[in-house]
Amino acid sequence: MIRVVLPVHLRTLARSGKEVRVEVTGPVTQRAVLDAVERDSPMLAGTIRDRRTGQRRPLVRFFACEEDLSNDPPDTPLPDRVAKGEEPFMVVGAMAGG
Amino acid sequence: MPPSGARQSNTVRVLVGTRKGAFILTSDGTRKDWTIDGPHFAGWEIYHLNGSPVEPDRLWASQTSGWFGQIMQRSDDGGKNWQAVGNDFTYTAPVGDHLWYDGTPRPWEFKRIWHIEPSRTDPDTVWAGAEDAALYKSTDGGQKWEELNALRQHPTGPGWQPGAGGMCLHTILLHPTDPERMYVAISAAGAFRTDDGGATWLPINAGLRSEGLPDEDAEVGHCVHRLAMHPSRPDTLFMQKHWDVLRTDDAGGRWREVSGNLPTDFGFPIAVHAHEPETIYVVPITSDSLHYVMDGKLRVYRSRTGGEEWEPLTVGLPQSHCYVNVLRDAMAVDTLDECGIYFGTSGGQVYGSADGGDTWTAIVRDLPAVLSVEVQVLP
Count the helices and strands in chain A (H runs, E runs): 3, 5
Residue B44 contacts residue B72 (beta carbons within 8 Å): no
B213-231 mean pLDDT: 93
DSSP for B219-236 reads: SS---EEEEEE-TT-TT-
CA B147-B150-B155 angle, 5° bins: 140
Q: Which residues contact A4 (CB under 8 A, 6 or more apart)?
A: A19, A20, A21, A22, A33, A37, A88, A89, A90, A91
Task: Quote the CA–CA distance of A50 and A58 in Å, as a whole number.
Answer: 9
Question: Residue A49 class from Cβ within 10 Å (0-12 exposed, 13-18 middle, 19+ buried)?
Answer: buried
| Whole-number pLDDT of residue B7 | 62
Task: Quote the CA–CA distance of B333 and A96 in Å, as a whole number.
Answer: 37
Check B90 against A47: CB less than 8 A apart.
Answer: no
**Percentage of chain A with pLDDT > 70?**
98
Task: Count how many Cα atoms sit within 13 Å of the Cα of residue A92 in the half-sphere of its side chain.
Answer: 15
| Whole-number pLDDT of residue A97 | 59
Confidence of residue B1 (pLDDT cuts 50, 70, 90): very low
Of the candidates B42, B66, B68, the beta carbon closest to that of A97 is on B66
Task: Tell whether the torsion through CA atoms of A8, A12, A17 and A21 is positive or negative.
Answer: negative
Task: Quote the CA–CA distance of B294 and B284 in Å, as a whole number.
Answer: 8
Residue B368 above 70 pLDDT?
yes
Is the ipTM higher than 0.90? The answer is: yes
Residue B39 contacts residue B23 (beta carbons within 8 Å): yes
Check B71 against A43: CB less than 8 A apart.
Answer: yes
Tens-digit pLDDT profile for residues B64-98: 999 999 999 999 999 999 999 999 999 999 999 99
Could you tell me whether strands B350-353 and A67-68 are parallel, antiparallel, or unpaired per DSSP bridges? unpaired
Nearest to B142 by CA among B225, B61, B245: B61
Task: Determine which helix (DSSP H) or strand (DSSP E) holds B75, and give its type and residue range.
Answer: strand B69-75
Looking at chain B from residue 42 to 81, which residues have their Cβ under 8 Å from any Cβ of chain A? 42-44, 65-71
Q: Which residues contact B375 (CB under 8 A, 6 or more apart)?
A: B12, B13, B14, B15, B332, B333, B334, B340, B342
The DSSP call for residue B358 is S
What phi-psi label fits residue A26: left (phi over 0), alpha (psi between -120 and 50 degrees) or beta? left
Q: Of the given ranges (B3-12, B163-172, B177-186, B345-354), which has the lowest mean pLDDT?
A: B3-12
A30-52 mean pLDDT: 96
Which residue out of B41, B45, B68, B87 would a mutagenesis test of the A interface target, given it has the greatest number of A Cβ atoms within 10 Å? B68
Tens-digit pLDDT profile for residues B230-253: 999 999 999 999 999 999 999 999
CATH of the domain at A33: 3.10.20.30
Of the candidates A9, A50, A52, the beta carbon closest to that of B65 is on A9
Tens-digit pLDDT profile for residues B247-281: 999 999 999 999 999 999 999 999 999 999 999 99
| Whole-number pLDDT of residue B61 | 98
Q: Is A92 on the interface with B (CB under 8 A)?
A: no
Of the candidates A46, A57, A93, the beta carbon closest to that of B87 is on A46
Task: Determine which helix (DSSP H) or strand (DSSP E) holds A39, and give its type and residue range.
Answer: helix A30-40
Residue B140 contacts residue B92 (beta carbons within 8 Å): no
Q: Which residues contact B225 (CB under 8 A, 6 or more apart)?
A: B170, B187, B239, B240, B241, B242, B267, B268, B269, B270, B328
Of the candidates B67, B70, B87, the beta carbon closest to that of A93 is on B67
Task: Quote the CA–CA distance of A74 and A62 in Å, as a whole number.
Answer: 11
What's the N-to-C CA distance of chain B in angstroms?
13
Task: Quote the CA–CA distance of B344 and B351 in Å, as a whole number.
Answer: 6
Residue B4 above 80 pLDDT?
no
Residue A98 lies in a domain: no
Q: Is A1 on the interface with B (CB under 8 A)?
A: no
A90-98 mean pLDDT: 83
The letter for the amino acid at B319 is: Q
| Whole-number pLDDT of residue B109 | 94
B328-349 mean pLDDT: 98
Backbone angles phi, psi at B15, to 5 degrees: -105, 120
Residue A81 lies in a domain: yes
DSSP for B76-120 reads: SSTTSS-EE-----PPPSS--EEE-TTS-EEE----EEEEEEE-S
The alpha carbon of B207 is separated from its chain's Cα centroid by a whole number of angstroms, namely 22
Q: How many CB pairs under 8 A join A and B?
A: 47
Domain count of the fold of chain A: 1
| Whole-number pLDDT of residue B3 | 45
Q: Which pairs from A38-45 meet CB under 8 Å and 24+ separation?
A: A41/A14, A41/A16, A43/A13, A43/A14, A43/B71, A43/B84, A43/B87, A44/A10, A44/A13, A44/A14, A45/B87, A45/B88
Average pLDDT in chain B? 96
Confidence of residue B2 (pLDDT cuts 50, 70, 90): very low
**Percentage of chain B with pLDDT > 70?**
98
Residue B40 above 60 pLDDT?
yes
Task: Quote the CA–CA distance of A52 and B315 in Å, as a whole number.
Answer: 51
Task: Count how many Cα atoms sit within 13 Å of the Cα of residue B328 in the half-sphere of its side chain.
Answer: 24
Residue B101 above 70 pLDDT?
yes
Looking at chain B from residue 98 to 117, which residues have their Cβ under 8 Å from any Cβ of chain A? 110
Range(s) of the domain holding residue A68: 2-93
Task: Quote the CA–CA distance of B137 and B184 in Å, as a whole number.
Answer: 13
Residue A79 lies in a domain: yes
Q: Of the given ranges (A45-54, A78-87, A89-98, B132-141), which has the lowest mean pLDDT?
A: A89-98
